[in-house]
Amino acid sequence: MTLFLRAYLALIVGFIFLPIVVSMAFSFNDARFPTLPLSGFTTIWYETIFADPDFWRAAKNSLIVSGCTCVIATFLGFCTAYTDYRYSFRGKSLFLAIILLPPTIPLIIIALAMLAWFSRVGMSGQVVSIIAAHTVLTAPFAMAIIRLRLSQIDESLEAAAWNLGASEWRAMREVILPFCKPAILSSLFLTAAVSFDEFTVSWFVSGLNKTLPVHVLEIVQGTIDPQVNAIGTLVFGVSITLVVISQLLIFFRLQKAAS
């Protein structure tokens, strides 16, 4: 790679991560207003948020939502990916197109539509509604990750299991699931991460059951408060950890397959 490309890459990474780094830095800064130079180190903002019951309620909601979303989305993603791998049927490409549709729709449209729909069916403003909405958003990612893994399988593998006496369910448990395990784990982490820091849809459908990103917005709307930096840093920390674990799982698996 040439020096120019390296510099270009560094600039892009800088552009993406600088705001986050700045926010992290200010979360430990003991001034009320975010101005340079930094005045001194403090953990007061973290102490403030940890003492705030609103923060804990939002954190609990976020954990419940991302925890449930990742399980449901990965389950649905696995089912559709397996359907695609195993069966061919009329209208299969339409089926796949519809499944992969949600990420192509602007979030604000999905959010509004969800809000309208949930209030119509009497489900608005509940934790369950956020879970349902996030599942719609993340299931296509789960499906894509697991589908990629299934595309690497030796097609005789499942038949070999039947041939050795495994029923279809048994073969699923003994062969397909172990084979897909890295992708399933990766999908769990990735969908949890997406759900954990998703803001737009959560803001519309959460009502009084705020998640962390919604809580952050509400603080920002009121005042300039360095608490926001502290919460942001925590949310970022959780999400990036989940994403990195997810990527490592995919990366090592692909590398192994290639070698």
Partner 1 sequence: MTEPLVVLEKVEKRFDDFVAVTGADLTIGEGEFVAIMGPSGCGKTTTLRMLAGLDAPTSGEIRIAGKVMNAVAAHERDTPMVWQSLALFPFLNARENVEFGLKMRGVDAAERKTRAMNWLERMEIAEFAERNVETLSGGQRQRVALARALVTEPQLLLLDEPLSALDAHLVIRMQSVLTKLQRELGITFVYVTHSQSEAFAMADRVVIMSRGEIAQVGTPREVYRAPATRFVAEFVGRNNILPGKVAAAMGGSVTVETALGAFAVPGEAAVGADASIVVSADMMQVGGGENTIEATVISEEFVGSIVTAFLEAKDGTELKVQVQERVLADLDLTAGSTVTLGWATKDGHLLVEGT
Residue number, 149 or 215, with CB nearest to partner 1: 149
- 11: buried, middle or exposed (CB in 10 Å: 19+, 13-18, 0-12)? exposed
Residue number, 53 or 154, with CB nearest to partner 1: 154
User: Cα angle vertex 231, ends 230, 233, to 5°?
Assistant: 65
Please provide the size of the chain in residues.
259
Residue number, 154 or 223, with CB nearest to partner 1: 154
Residue carrying structure tokens 């041939």 = 163
The DSSP bridge partners found for residue 29 are 41
Residue number, 3 or 257, with CB nearest to partner 1: 257
Residue 92 makes contact with partner 1 by CB under 8 A: no
**Which residue stretches of the chain are H helix?**
3-27, 44-50, 53-86, 92-99, 107-120, 127-150, 156-163, 168-171, 177-196, 200-205, 212-222, 227-258
User: Cα angle vertex 146, ends 142, 149, to 5°?
Assistant: 155
Residue number, 161 or 243, with CB nearest to partner 1: 161
Least CB distance to partner 1 at residue 159 (A): 6
Residue number, 56 or 252, with CB nearest to partner 1: 252
Site map 158..187 versus partner 1, x via CB under 8 A? -xxxxxxxxxx-xx--xx--xx-x------
Is there a cis peptide before residue 178, judged by omega within 30 degrees of 0? no
Least CB distance to partner 1 at residue 166 (A): 5
- 233: buried, middle or exposed (CB in 10 Å: 19+, 13-18, 0-12)? buried
Least CB distance to partner 1 at residue 238 (A): 30
Cα–Cα distance, 214 to 222 (Å, whole number): 13
Least CB distance to partner 1 at residue 94 (A): 21
Site map 124..163 versus partner 1, x via CB under 8 A? ------------------------------x-xx-xxxxx
Least CB distance to partner 1 at residue 156 (A): 4
In the complex, the residues that contact partner 1 under the rule CB under 8 A are: 154, 156-157, 159-168, 170-171, 174-175, 178-179, 181
